[in-house]
Structure 1
């Protein structure tokens, strides 16, 4: 009986320690990737300033060709919104709305993954001679949920590869059209 009591006390102390440590972890998850595209910002901008255009290079839609997509708001710029729904766990269900748009420079979006949480995404276009460095970023507030904070440590591994694939797709799309 003492042995079982020791195991239970040890488990309780371990759980409390993990919860306590979680509050020392970052309160935000951030992911960012960049690529240089052989085109000026004004050629790239339309592909990041419209949810309909992002469909052409999205790294997630190839995972589930049956993903249901719907759009609302204007065709591009602030208010342009994408809603998606998929049974595939790596695609899921959610929405993304453009919340800020500076022509040929930057686009900001609000992401809503339903019960999975919310995030902000951004595209920054920085001219470099005849080329443009495109940076795709993601920030999510993890709140006070201990499990979210531990999962936040893995966000770069989970999303980073997708961002790299998406930027590579964008580069190929823009450079073949030029």
Structure 2
């Protein structure tokens, strides 16, 4: 009986320690990846300024080809909205809307993952001679939820490889057009 009490007390102390440590973790998750594409910002911009165009290079659609996609708003630019729904937990359900767009320079989107929370993403296009440095960034406020804070620590490891794959897909697509 003493052993069971000690194990139980140890588990309670472990849970309390994990919750306490969570509040020392960052309250925001940031992920960013960049790639140099051998093309001008003008050649790249249409592929990041339209949710419909992202289908061509998205790193997530190959996971579930049955993902249901619907679009609303204009074909590109501010107000262009993508809603997706998938039974695959790695794809999930959500929406993404372009909320700011500066031609050939940047595109900012708002993401809504339903009960999983919200985030923002940005594409930055920086010309460098005949090339363009494309940076894809992600930011999410984690709030006071201890579980979200622990997940935030893993966000770069989880999302980073997908961003790298997506940027490589974009590079191949754009450079193949030239």
| Per-residue Cα deviation, 1:24-58 (whole angstroms, up to 9, x for no partner) | 00001111000000001011001000000011100
Residue 3 of structure 1: how far off its partner (Å): 2.0
What SS is found at the alignment partner of 2:36?
Answer: strand
- C-alpha distance in 1 between matches for 2:65 and 2:5: 53
Structure 2 partner of 1:159: 159
What SS is found at the alignment partner of 1:169?
Answer: helix
What SS is found at the alignment partner of 2:34?
Answer: strand
- C-alpha distance in 2 between matches for 1:158 and 1:98: 23
- C-alpha distance in 1 between matches for 2:5 and 2:90: 41
Unaligned runs of 5+ in 1: none
- C-alpha distance in 2 between matches for 1:120 and 1:173: 24
What SS is found at the alignment partner of 2:100?
Answer: strand
Which residues of 2 match residues 97-176 of structure 1 at below 5 A?
Answer: 97-176=97-176
| Per-residue Cα deviation, 1:86-125 (whole angstroms, up to 9, x for no partner) | 1111111100000000000000000011111110000000
Instruction: Tell me the TM-score normalized by structure 1.
Output: 0.98
| Per-residue Cα deviation, 1:35-85 (whole angstroms, up to 9, x for no partner) | 000001011001000000011100001111111000000110000000000
- C-alpha distance in 2 between matches for 1:11 and 1:89: 30
Any runs of at least 4 consecutive aligned residues in structure 1 with deviations exceeding 2 A, and if so which?
none
CA RMSD, aligned part only? 0.7
What SS is found at the alignment partner of 1:154?
Answer: helix
Instruction: Tell me the TM-score normalized by structure 2.
Output: 0.98
Structure 1 partner of 2:70: 70
Residue 20 of structure 1: how far off its partner (Å): 0.4
- C-alpha distance in 2 between matches for 1:66 and 1:30: 29
- C-alpha distance in 1 between matches for 2:171 and 2:86: 26
What SS is found at the alignment partner of 1:70?
Answer: strand
Unaligned runs of 5+ in 2: none
- C-alpha distance in 2 between matches for 1:20 and 1:86: 35
What SS is found at the alignment partner of 1:153?
Answer: helix
What SS is found at the alignment partner of 1:107?
Answer: strand
